[in-house]
Amino acid sequence: MNKRTKWAMTVVSLASVALLASCGSTSSKKTEIEFFTQKKETLGITKEIAKDFEKENKDIKVKVVSVPDPSNVLKTRISSKDTPDVVNIYPQNSDFKEWAANHVFEDLTGKSFMNNIKEGVAAQYKINDKLYSAPLDSNAWGFFYNVDAFKKLGIEAPKTWDEFEAVVKDIKEKGKDQSPFALSLAQGDAWSLNGFGQLAWAQADGGFDGAQNALRFSPKGAIKTANPNFQSVIKQLDILKGNGQKGAEGATYNDAIAAFVSGKSLILPQGIWALAAVQQQKPSFEIRSFAYPGKTAEDAMSVGAADMALSISSTSKHKAAAEKFVNYFSTAKVFQKYFDVNGEPTSVKGVKTKGKMPELEGITRLTFTDKQFVWLQSKWTSEIDFHTLTANYARSGNADNFAKELNVFFDSMK
């Protein structure tokens, strides 16, 4: 081998090393962002969307994170200054408002992806005249029911509270080994009765403002068992007592879904987000829904607010990538995929929704009307104890203790 050949081989080797180093460098430059979602029901489609995003953005990896008890995990992470890059968070909640006011999240006012959202929707969640969240859809709360079993028993979805009580009575008398409700009363899943508890107070007190005046803005110690509104609330909660599936007192959210899908419980009191979890288990019957009944058909109500709402950490080291992902998620083409699984009323422009989710129409007919109010906790400093106390009453029926504990919870805010 002469000197010229040796020199040429050395150049080739060095070029190969440089090329490999270059490839390694490209790989190492891949940006990873964390997307923290609190919606386990839609985790599958969320991961699918993240993978699709990665195919179009080969320099970005999206790590989708879903954990048990996400609300408390998120609080802990934010307090320890470990906020995920992109967070699915509920902008109506008091903790979000506090975090936004303290600049935990990026100001999204004027970002191009906010134009993907229908006018006026995001503005509902402004903090100090700025937008810290992109609300892409809205949840709502009501009742799912087993249409086939209802037909077999000769009953129809109730339009009034009196009809609701009659339906429950008929199921107990005519149903064979069937219970009226699929309930999850375990302490860990007490949140699942949050909607029922809030709607009971709203029906008793004439809506959002009345319920707040009875609970949050009344004098300390004002919640008493002798109050007519309190009597009305416990009368409504009593419809659940002893009417759940076997073992309902210790049942989890998943247990309640299973009881409904099995056909052993005919009514599932739950948010519309539960439909995805129900459908995943392939029920053999037709599903429809009805809203929380009032004295008349016109008094039916629902409660809800932004559900898949996205915020970006103000301390993210990858804000450009995070914004790119939020922009992608909020486009009509991408969110259509999410809606087709989730079915919640969406605020994303261009998503086709008409006739696509008949299962939810009994509840969602009230969304974006004055018959659906925003979750009461939007005016509270916390909410978890309210869930627990409502579930405690549904298990025990102890009205005196219920009133006492509600006073302890709300007096701390007064």
Q: What is the 3-state secondary structure (H, E, C) of 50-107?
A: HHHHHHHCCCEEEEEECCCCHHHHHHHHHHCCCCCCEEECCCCCHHHHHHHHCCCECC
C-alpha 267/C-alpha 287 separation (Å) is 10
C-alpha 95/C-alpha 82 separation (Å) is 16
Q: Is the pLDDT of residue 300 over 90?
A: yes
Cβ atoms of residues 64 and 37 within 8 Å: yes
C-alpha 245/C-alpha 328 separation (Å) is 42
Q: Is the pLDDT of residue 20 over 60?
A: no
Rounded to an integer, the average pLDDT of 288-314 is 97
C-alpha 45/C-alpha 33 separation (Å) is 18
Q: How many other β-carbons are positioned within 10 Å of the β-carbon of residue 16?
A: 10
Q: Which of 5-14, 47-56, 250-259, 362-371 has the lowest mean pLDDT?
A: 5-14
Nearest to 293 by CA among 135, 137, 166: 166
Q: Is the pLDDT of residue 175 over 50?
A: yes
Q: Which of 58-72, 102-116, 362-376 has the lowest mean pLDDT?
A: 362-376
Summary mean pLDDT of the chain = 92
Quote the DSSP letter at residue 297. Answer: G
Rounded to an integer, the average pLDDT of 377-398 is 92
Q: Cα dihedral sign for 17, 18, 24, 27?
A: negative
Cβ atoms of residues 171 and 153 within 8 Å: yes
pLDDT at 41 (0 to 100):
85
Rounded to an integer, the average pLDDT of 51-55 is 98
Cβ atoms of residues 146 and 260 within 8 Å: yes
pLDDT at 28 (0 to 100):
57
Cβ atoms of residues 321 and 84 within 8 Å: no
Tokens of 106: 């990026």
C-alpha 51/C-alpha 58 separation (Å) is 10
* Residue 289: strand pairing partners: 144
Quote the DSSP letter at residue 251. Answer: -
Q: Is the pLDDT of residue 232 over 90?
A: yes
Q: Is the pLDDT of residue 8 over 60?
A: no
Cβ atoms of residues 356 and 339 within 8 Å: yes
Quote the DSSP letter at residue 145. Answer: E
Which residues have C-beta within 8 Å of that of residue 195, sequence separation ≥ 6? Answer: 141, 142, 269, 270, 271, 292, 303
Rounded to an integer, the average pLDDT of 270-280 is 92
Residue with tokens 């009944």: 293
Please tell me whether the overall predicted TM-score, pTM, comes out greater than 0.85 for this model. no
Q: Is the pLDDT of residue 291 over 90?
A: yes
Residue with tokens 């299962």: 359
pLDDT band with cut points at 50, 70 and 90 for residue 29: confident
Q: Cα dihedral sign for 287, 292, 293, 297?
A: negative
Backbone angles phi, psi at 70, to 5 degrees: -60, -30
Which residues have C-beta within 8 Å of that of residue 413, sequence separation ≥ 6? Answer: 216, 380, 381
Selected residue with higher pLDDT from 368 and 114? 114
pLDDT band with cut points at 50, 70 and 90 for residue 77: very high
Q: Three-state DSSP class for 153?
A: helix
Q: Is the pLDDT of residue 195 over 60?
A: yes
pLDDT at 236 (0 to 100):
98
- Provide the percentage of residues in the chain whose pLDDT is more than 70: 93
pLDDT at 104 (0 to 100):
97
Cβ atoms of residues 266 and 145 within 8 Å: yes
Nearest to 53 by CA among 313, 318, 330: 330
pLDDT band with cut points at 50, 70 and 90 for residue 369: confident
pLDDT at 17 (0 to 100):
44
Q: What phi-psi label fits residue 207: left (phi over 0), alpha (psi between -120 and 50 degrees) or beta?
A: left
Nearest to 407 by CA among 235, 227, 238, 241: 227
Q: How many other β-carbons are positioned within 10 Å of the β-carbon of residue 361?
A: 14
